Structure 1
């Protein structure tokens, strides 16, 4: 391996934040002959509520147009990378179903490019690395020489993305009701009074009210009706 490649890959390996890793990646991309470098994190589940994360040095006008036209929904490169970790070279044939997108890429200088993805099956997340340049088509030899580097880089950036994602807050623990409290709550939900519940469960009315009060406290509400509503919302009854 050439010394500069080894040095920059080592720097990238030791980077622990996306913001510090990306400039190293950009220098690497420029050193192997590319003008543009983009890294993004998306979800392979189109129905998931997930906002894509991305960093690139594409022309600002291109980023604005891409977002305005909602091109991510029809981008064949994204479609490919969401299910395959094989590299894909951008070409007119690849964009045959989206000719306007291909035309806009050409106009913004993103004429020759390829993308590589890394898929995390357990999380359903896809990290995609794209390198592009204004001039000079990619040769098969060039793709072969750089594939190993780019696959490693993409997997490392994937780890950084996931590691630095904000953690979702833990769901609050569901209140634990005793079997008897749950019985009393279920009867209350169908309109039974404390007296009626005491007759059904062979308990004193005072004991029923004691269980009701415990439920109110555990659910952090102010009365029996609120307790029934709260329990229904969180799926206890």
Structure 2
């Protein structure tokens, strides 16, 4: 294992802040030949407005432009990360449907890039992007460096998820009892409280008691939302 890999691995395991970890990742990215580095993390819940964290060292004016123009919603690299775990090299064809984004990104010095999506067992997804202003990424360079780039992306995701997710998704720390989990599982299968009571050989009042407790612990709107959340977060 190379020194930087060991350093990053230890950093991803220890309680570094996301900024400290990102600084390490960005330094390694520079050693690999990239001027810029970005990491984005998306929680699996809520569905309508997923909680996200984005950190990068892109030029300030580009960060502002990206935010103000709402480019996150149409960025093809983000769309790729939602449906694939394959590494991605930027190209004209990739940005064919978003020519303004592509033109403005290149004008900001983000002309050549590579991205690696990541996803873990909890459903938390992330993506590391490495970019630079000059020199296209050729097959020879990718063959030489891509395994290290993928390793960097995975390590960054492990560390960032460890640092960010407890703040982004405090519901993941909910301690559900075995009975509460059982009630939520039946709810997730579409059972009513009366049906759950019969299946579990308890009263409807007791079933509702456990479901209400689980709903409160997850800060959910109702028992159905609680069951969905618990399933998505891997608590069932």
Q: TM-score, normalised by structure 2?
A: 0.67
Query: Which of 150, 170, 174 does residue 170 from structure 1 map onto?
Result: 174
Structure (1/2) with the larger helix percentage: 2
Q: Which has the larger radius of gyration?
A: 1
Cα drift, residue 118 of structure 1: 1.1
Q: Distance in 1 between matches of 2:222 and 2:47?
A: 24
Q: Find the counterpart in structure 2 of residue 92 from structure 1.
A: 92
Q: Distance in 1 between matches of 2:33 and 2:97?
A: 29
CA contact (8 A) 2:21 2:160 kept: no
Please, which moves more after superposition, 158-167 or 102-111? 158-167
Cα drift, residue 124 of structure 1: 2.5
Cα drift, residue 170 of structure 1: 3.2
Given the superposition, is the C-alpha separation of residues 35 and 151 from structure 1 closer, same or farther in structure 2, using an over 3 Å criterion? same
Q: Find the counterpart in structure 2 of residue 117 from structure 1.
A: 117
Cα drift, residue 43 of structure 1: 4.2
Q: Find the counterpart in structure 1 of residue 226 from structure 2.
A: none
1:9-39 deviations in whole A, cap 9, x for unaligned? 1111110223322222111111121110111
Given the superposition, is the C-alpha separation of residues 156 and 64 from structure 1 closer, same or farther in structure 2, using an over 3 Å criterion? same
Cα drift, residue 142 of structure 1: 1.1
Q: Find the counterpart in structure 2 of residue 158 from structure 1.
A: 157
Q: Counterpart of 2:50 in 1: which secondary structure?
A: coil
Cα drift, residue 41 of structure 1: 0.6
Q: Find the counterpart in structure 2 of residue 138 from structure 1.
A: 137
Query: Which of 9, 12, 15 does residue 8 from structure 2 map onto?
Result: 12
Please, which moves more after superposition, 94-103 or 37-46? 37-46
Q: Find the counterpart in structure 2 of residue 22 from structure 1.
A: 22
Q: Distance in 2 between matches of 1:46 and 1:88?
A: 27
Q: TM-score, normalised by structure 1?
A: 0.67
RMSD: 2.9
Q: Distance in 1 between matches of 2:174 and 2:86?
A: 36
Q: Matched residue pairs, number?
A: 179
1:89-146 deviations in whole A, cap 9, x for unaligned? 11111100110110111110100111111122x3322211111111111111111222
Given the superposition, is the C-alpha separation of residues 112 and 45 from structure 1 closer, same or farther in structure 2, using an over 3 Å criterion? farther
Gaps of 5+ in 2: 181-201, 213-220, 224-236
Please, which moves more after superposition, 130-139 or 162-171? 162-171
